[in-house]
Chain A
Amino acid sequence: MNFRIAYIIARDEWRYWLRSRLSVAALVAASILIVAALISTITQVQTERTTRENFQAEAINTFESQPARHPHRMIHYGHYVFRTPAPLSVIDLGVDAAAGTVMFLEGHRQNSAVFTPNYSSANAGQLAELSPAFAYQVLTPLLLIILGFASISRERESATETLLYSISVAPLELWMGKIIALSGAALMSLLPLSLGLGLAISAGEHAGVAAYMLSGYALYLLTWVFIITAVSSSCQASSTALTLLLAGWIFFCIVISPVASGIASTGGAYEGKVVSDIAVQQALRGSGDGHNEADPAFDQFKMQLLQQYNVESIESLPINIRGMISKNAEEKQTQILNRFSDRRMEAARTQSRIVYWFGLLSPALALKNFSMNVAGTSLSEYQRFQHQAENVRFDFVQRLNNLHAEQLSYSDDINRSKDHQSEQRTRISPVHWKMLQPVAHHEDNEQERVSESLPHFIMLFFWCVFGAIWSVTRATRGAANAA
């Protein structure tokens, strides 16, 4: 193969686009859309980030500036964590719109993350999403189709194909020329994406992860380039090629996603939190009420404590039994709560695994899955947030229980409703309230994100290889048809 010839053909293809009003219009419209999507998503993410970070700071601040009080009151006062957008969400918002933004953390309970952005958003239908990810997954393939559907069939219709072969241009050179031309357009369309990625890097994202994301998108667009040239060289008429390509686009980019979601969700594996809460309630029955030291569920624990400190009565324990019981109860409860929430999360992941396999039916879905996972806007990242929130919750609750056990005397604690002096002594100083752990940043789990997105990347890679093989076979076979 002579690449110089391929390049000459590609250059002529570009010249053809520039002289065709349709192609110019499509190029201009697509560029405007991609840039608009990028700008609007960047602004949206910035606003959301500022809002949520301000709320987070306010939540921490209010907690830490609480007056002196009984530590158990602080357990019920609780704390809030806000889910902040990942740096790469300027490219792919992923599940953000459908995932809760704030979670209330308190003792003895696990609450759900509430107020999804979609909750109060204006409904504009399922396709109304203007993010760079959507622009690349759905709109750019359409641009490539418009530019490339006739790339080879046009030569056939005007008999220039045989003319080219007669002057010793090999079919593969013609094919390569068209591939270079279309890939050029794809590459150019990736410029705004690179800009967005650059921005994400400056916001703390790892450069390697950003490059990895870019390569996923490039692979996806290249797959389309192959598919388009394959179809164009299989068809005698450009109109047939266009019809087939549009049908493919509708199938890959519009139909498969909701079908996958429908099949994954009607499988019935995932029940949601309300069902699980009832099961939790049943499982918790009899595990003991941590507020009530007389609950027989704690008898054994009390015996253990007495033995451990080698004392006769709970009054003579060096620590406050109420705090210890509260701590012990929280631990047992949390184990049960985690068992159910783990089960729930696993069921959700099962659904997402079903969606993963649907990526075999659509490169667009494979890219969507890849993109969300690498951006840190996927279900996995959301669940990591939920886990982290739970860790923050358990951590501050147990710290407060420790304070309860170590800082408060048992006699004050039991007399506090009767005796004002005791009550005052059970209020511990606010210096202790500086105990909240922060929620880890998205940038810190790049290894998880890369490994979670790898299967999707491999699937994309297979799509690309499949497209390339199909395209080459059609191109060489198409040459035989030309004569």
Chain B
Amino acid sequence: MAALTTAAPEALAPVKARRTRPRYWRGAVLAIAGLYFVTPLLSSFVFTVHVPNQGLTFEAYSGILSADGFTESLFLSLSLAAATIALALLLVVPALVAVRLGPPRLRAVVEVVCMLPLVVPPIALVTGIATVLRWGPDHFSRTPLYQTFLAVQNESFPVVLVLAYTVLALPFVHRSLDAGLRAVDVPTLVEAARNCGASRLQVIVGVILPNLRSSLAGASFLTLALVLGEYTVASLLGFRPFAVWIVTVSGAEARMSVAVSLLSLLITWALLLVLSRAGTGSATTAVPAAAPTPVPGKE
């Protein structure tokens, strides 16, 4: 069919390149921040490769893979992280989309609920969990829930840690996704997709999630970092994921312990890079990157 019109006359005006001027104070601030950040890492690295009276050696690194418990603990932490990310996103994404489409007052409620773990110290959380885990089997010993209480504490994959980590990750996942959703006109996109024949599930999977890739990547990274570095809950509940293993091994193998810590940082940064590129590297992404979100500190 012939076109009824010619191409639109309106064209995007080229954006003028912003004139840049050297700002020396910026360089100074960056240098100070860099020193603050790099000095401990460099010191740690030197500690791992320099042995007094022996000189330079990479034994601390070469022995990691063969170290007792390393593979198991790392695999456990990565498995827990994957499960935590999946559960947290499954909980938060539909909830946030729903409150974007629903009454605005619900947003505040969801935000408060998601932020609560920030004000509850992990020690309080783990105390509560431990109490429930002790109390449960005594009171449900004659019900199917007894088996559930045992199953969630399975050492090969402690589901109770996934549940606890999901609670701890809620603030970071919420902030990251909320920032991403603020950049998207969710109601209009949902209605446009529904008008095109999409079901509710197709709307979430085919329209909302692709436009939240940056936020999803950010939320996933933050959760991964939290789980890899989490010590308090796992240690007090008696499990031995990666962070607990590092602390355990530090008594006998101090250099290896520091080397593993350094490597875990590098692995985390590498994953961050990969996730960031997956989220924003494509030219197809029109949604601005999510607002900066605080990184959960390692315990």
Say whether A associates with B: no
A interface list, Cβ under 8 A from B: none
B binding-site residues for A, Cβ under 8 Å: none
